[in-house]
Amino acid sequence: MNRILTQRLGFSLLTLVALFTVLPILVVFAYIIAKGAPAISWEFLSGFPREGMRAGGILPAIVGTFYLTLGTAIFSVPLGIAAAIYLAEYARENWLTRLIRIAIINLAGIPSVVYGLFGLGLFVFFLKFGTSLLSASLTLSIMTLPVIISASEEALRAVPQAFRTVSISLGGTRWQTIRRIVLPQALPGILTGVILGLERAAGETAPILFTGAAFFLPRLPHSPFDATMALPYHLFVISTQVPEMPFQIQYGTALVLIVFVLGMNLIATFIRSRARAKRQW
């Protein structure tokens, strides 16, 4: 049977292809963990860089990435969820709604470095926020918005129509229905989307290059108008701009960044699977 043989060959080939796609991912993670783990110590996580960043810790970069993620969340989460509510609960299918959808798709596709240019033009120069935590967070927020909107809209749409019908028929207004019935049901899905969006923001370098990232700061940022160090930018700096950088610190920084970002990913996956198990519909 010739075609059975073809199928066997074909299946083996595709299995091999999938293996070649998945294995490098495993190798990359294992390699960074193995190389970076020896660098991790309390001093590395809680100390300031010393000797031109060739020694000491990376605390300002960790705190900076934390602030940037928080700042991004403050702007993008309320706006993104509200936009998703509009699309899922209010909007009719007309040209305006189609235009909004095309705009969201485009926002998702704009190169991250172009967001950096935009942030430089609007926030740093035009609004005079300077190279600061605020400018960088705002830039990252707009970049994160499409992820949050799409995921939240999907979560809202997944809530069965019957929930809304019952609430409205009991005399609830549209907003009461959304706030008391639809939003709580959709919350796990929304949360998952929010975390995945913020995860991307936390790992990005290009949008903050000219809007808020600092090469080196001997202290933590005090106000939203201070520039800040950040883990991804710091990794870029110490792997390309600083000669004779000890490998251990580079790998250690990469490991901390990965743990930060993938930690968020794991939390999102956890929320999603728990919500699926508990779902009443």
Partner 1 sequence: MDKSLNWRETIITAVIKASGYSAILFVGLIFFFLLREGLPALSQVTLANLFSQRWYPIEAYYGILPLITGSLIVTLGAMLIAIPFGIGTAVFIAEIAPRWARDILKPFVELLGGLPSVVLGFLGILVLSPFLRVFLDLPTGLTALAGSLLLGGIAIPTIVSIAEDALDSVPRSYREGALAIGATRWQTIWRVTLPAARSGVLTAIMLGVGRAIGETMAVMMVTGNAPVLATRWNSLFMPARTMTATIAAEMGEVASGSTHYHVLFFIGLVLFLISLVVNVTASSVVFRQKKRAERVLS
Does the protein bind partner 1 through residue 52 (CB under 8 A)? Answer: no
> What is the footprint of partner 1 within residues 229-258 (CB under 8 A)?
232-233, 235-236, 239-240, 247, 250, 254, 257-258
Cβ atoms of 138 and 121 closer than 8 Å: no
- Give the contact letters, 118-157, x = binds to partner 1 (CB under 8 A), - = no: x-xxx--xx---------------x--xx--x--------
Does the protein bind partner 1 through residue 77 (CB under 8 A)? Answer: no
User: What is the helix, strand, coil percentage profile of the chain, to 5?
Assistant: 75, 0, 20
Q: How far is CA 158 from the centre of its chain?
A: 23
Does the protein bind partner 1 through residue 58 (CB under 8 A)? Answer: no
Does the protein bind partner 1 through residue 106 (CB under 8 A)? Answer: yes
Q: Residue 233 Cβ, how far from partner 1 at the closest point, in Å?
A: 8
| 193 Cβ neighbours under 8 A, 6+ residues apart | 147, 148, 150, 151, 152, 154, 155
Rounded Cα distance between 153 and 239, Å, is: 39
Which of 49, 210, 221, 249 touches partner 1 by CB under 8 A?
Answer: 210
Looking at the Cβ atoms of 40 and 122, the one nearer to partner 1 is 122
Q: Residue 198 Cβ, how far from partner 1 at the closest point, in Å?
A: 11
| Burial degree of 162 (CB within 10 A; 0-12, 13-18, 19+) | exposed
Which of 30, 34, 70, 103 touches partner 1 by CB under 8 A?
Answer: 103
Which of 30, 38, 90, 184 touches partner 1 by CB under 8 A?
Answer: 90
Does the protein bind partner 1 through residue 114 (CB under 8 A)? Answer: yes
Rounded Cα distance between 82 and 153, Å, is: 10
Q: Residue 280 Cβ, how far from partner 1 at the closest point, in Å?
A: 23
Q: How many residues bind partner 1 (CB under 8 A)?
A: 85
Both structure tokens of 133: 């935590």
- Give the contact letters, 154-193, x = binds to partner 1 (CB under 8 A), - = no: -------------------xxx------------------
CA 188, 193, 195 angle in degrees (round to 5)? 95
Cβ atoms of 216 and 53 closer than 8 Å: yes
Does the protein bind partner 1 through residue 30 (CB under 8 A)? Answer: no
| Burial degree of 14 (CB within 10 A; 0-12, 13-18, 19+) | exposed
Does the protein bind partner 1 through residue 263 (CB under 8 A)? Answer: no
Diameter of the chain measured on Cα atoms: 74
Q: Residue 16 Cβ, how far from partner 1 at the closest point, in Å?
A: 9
Rounded Cα distance between 57 and 166, Å, is: 57
Q: Residue 200 Cβ, how far from partner 1 at the closest point, in Å?
A: 7
